[in-house]
Amino acid sequence: MLAGFALPGSHGTTIDSGSAAQGPPLVRDDPTGGRTTLVTAAFAQTTKSFTNPVKLHTADPGVLQWGGRYYMVSTSGTPTFAIYVSDDLVNWQPTGRSVFNGTHPWGTTNFWAPELHRVGNRFAVYYAASDGAHMSVGVATANTILGPYTDLGRPLVDRGMEAIDPNFFRDDDGRQYLYWKENVGYNRIFAQEVNQAGTQLIGPRAVVLQTSLAWEGSDVEGPWVMKRNGVYYMFYSGNIFTTAQYAIGVAQSASPMAAFRKKGAPILRSGNRWKGPGHNSVVHVGANDYIVYHAWDRQAGVGDRVGMVDRINWVGGWPSVGNGTPTEGAQPYPQ
């Protein structure tokens, strides 16, 4: 067998001859004396592979790993936020449950960018919605991951301006933070501590990121904060999501409430087929980190964003993703 030979399957199976296991002996004729010689054969080991996208009709994916499975919510526009589940981060199935059932206590439209998190001993979905006048950040909580979810009943972040793209982060010391984007003439990302229930802002807020690089245009949004080796990392999106200039950048900080220092160029930008990669989650699988994000096919256009998965590589304290564009060929399943 040749390395990389693909077998038929839902997402493909790769034969990896470099990691062969010892197999049973084979019999062949010895051309030197017409005798039969026993030859030990190496049986190739199979490795599952997949090809992006992993989920259709997916914008702003928010993914939570819980109980050995992965759960996803994404932008719905209306008050629903359907919940999907996967065993491998590649094959997604509807659970038949949604965060909301079509009604909402304060939002009327533009239900965007939900994220699902474990907060204390409950589950919380942070999201953005409009009351018809401006966008605000809300939160709904439940005792189980599939709900039923109960909304706070009022916005969690309502500053009388456009507040969207919330991200929840819990630090090692148990303190919890919420990040979100505001449009205030130019775009900034704010951070503020939240209580242990995750339903009330406490303490002062701080600006931790704002537009400063040419590739970002006038927009930074979609923060996702994680901690690695004592350093805080913020993955974020820059530029306008309807354009091929939309991309994912990263910044780091010594504190969750301090200004984040940007790496510079985006770590994930438009490629040949997949355009406008952005608004990501980061999921730890085995010994690796994976970025889950949306992009759009150049032939289909931005109106139909899809869910994508790529492995993150860490070099010199900074993350990178493949060649810097969405992976178009087959890649191993997350592990």
The predicted pLDDT at position 290 comes to 98
The predicted pLDDT at position 140 comes to 98
> Taking the model in full, what pTM does it have?
0.88
- Residues 274-308, buried b or exposed e (16+ Cβ, 10 A)? bbbbbbbbbbebeeebbbbbbbbeeeeebeebbbb
The predicted pLDDT at position 176 comes to 98
The one-letter amino acid at 55 = K
Sort 216 into a burial class: Cβ within 10 Å, 0-12 / 13-18 / 19+. buried
The predicted pLDDT at position 160 comes to 82
The one-letter amino acid at 72 = M
Domains of the chain are 5-48 (no CATH), 54-332 (2.115.10.20)
Q: What residues contact 107, with CB distance under 8 A and at least 6 apart?
A: 79, 129, 130, 131, 136, 138
pLDDT along the chain (335 residues), means of 10: 34 40 35 35 64 98 98 98 98 98 98 98 98 96 98 94 96 98 85 98 97 96 98 98 98 98 98 98 97 97 94 98 98 96
Alpha carbon 34 to its chain's center: 61
